[in-house]
Structure 1
């Protein structure tokens, strides 16, 4: 979605419908996770990556992973009960969510895919906000409850 106002409005509307208190802030581009965290005044672990993950049956799920960690594929496959999961190409990710890579957030996705969140995520966190140049801030526990997220050990330290 190239219109940032429409994308962030979609996120705000979805949050409102869930009774979720969010803040969306415009932010400058960052060249790295550490730079992004410094710009936002938070720790790298408090930037939560929303990854859209494709199942073999062409359905999807969202995996929420702390910025300083990565998906632990064997753990996620076991939790979901499948043998194969993969990250889709950018075009499929856009088709599955209505958001471009780097802006994906489970709020306002064109389909409400199941959400799996890493158990290490806590407190106030930043996520994509549906448009480039924006970040969404929310209480992690409130987000998980509003989305009915499955919270489990699905990450590992960055390689």
Structure 2
């Protein structure tokens, strides 16, 4: 199989390589419920040493710079209550943490969740956290520009490997809310 974007030696339907994915990601693909079939989600093998966006794009193709997305885990506070959420934004943009994200999460203060919290709560590796398989109670804010793309590259839940899925599938993920101008 050839990946729909990028230059990867190994691309397969993600549903056929669940053993390569962290448990929450594999479980989400097994339980996939979307108008976009699970078989359209592609797993591409990649070197974990070049998992960060700039190095990844240099290694696997410049077309990935405009089709990659980063997931950020936020911790919002209102009173003594801490709310965790995920935000998916284009990799070339910056998340509007203290504006749009804070208002959408209805919290007074918001910050990036500590690494230990993000990893512990998701069951995924830091630097590879993906919107596929997030905790069910979490809101997932998705920048609207991503849903308009034919294909979007996201983490696989591990630093090795990535997932490529149709942009429209992002709006169908559990807890997803498409948000205009989440990134700037």
**Short-chain TM bin:** 0.7 to 0.9
Give the alignment partner of residue 39 of structure 1, picking from 59, 75, 81.
59
Structure 1 unaligned regions, length at least 5: none
Gaps of 5+ in 2: 1-17
For the residues of structure 2 that align with 1:54 and 1:83, how far apart are their CA atoms? 11
Match of 1:22 in 2: 41
Q: Which has the higher contact order (CA 8 A, sep 6+)?
A: 1
Q: Measure, in 2, the Cα distance between the counterparts of 1:6 and 1:32.
A: 19
CA RMSD of aligned residues (A): 2.2
Compared with structure 1, are the counterparts of its residues 132 and 45 closer, same or farther at alpha carbon in structure 2 (3 Å cutoff)? same
- Mark the CA change 1:87 to 1:94 in structure 2 (over 3 Å): closer, same or farther: same
| 2:110 corresponds to 1:82 | no
Give TM-score scaled by structure 1 length: 0.83
Tell me the residue number matched to 2:69: 48
Kept in 2: contact 1:60–1:96 (CA 8 A):
no
Given candidates 111, 118, 124, the residue that maps to 2:151 is 124
CA contact 2:23–2:123 (8 Å) conserved in 1: no
Q: 3-state DSSP class of the match of 2:172?
A: helix
Tell me how far 1:79 sits from its aligned partner. 2.2
The Cα of 1:110 is off from its aligned counterpart by: 4.5
Deviation (angstroms), 1:64: 0.1
How many residue pairs get aligned? The number is 153
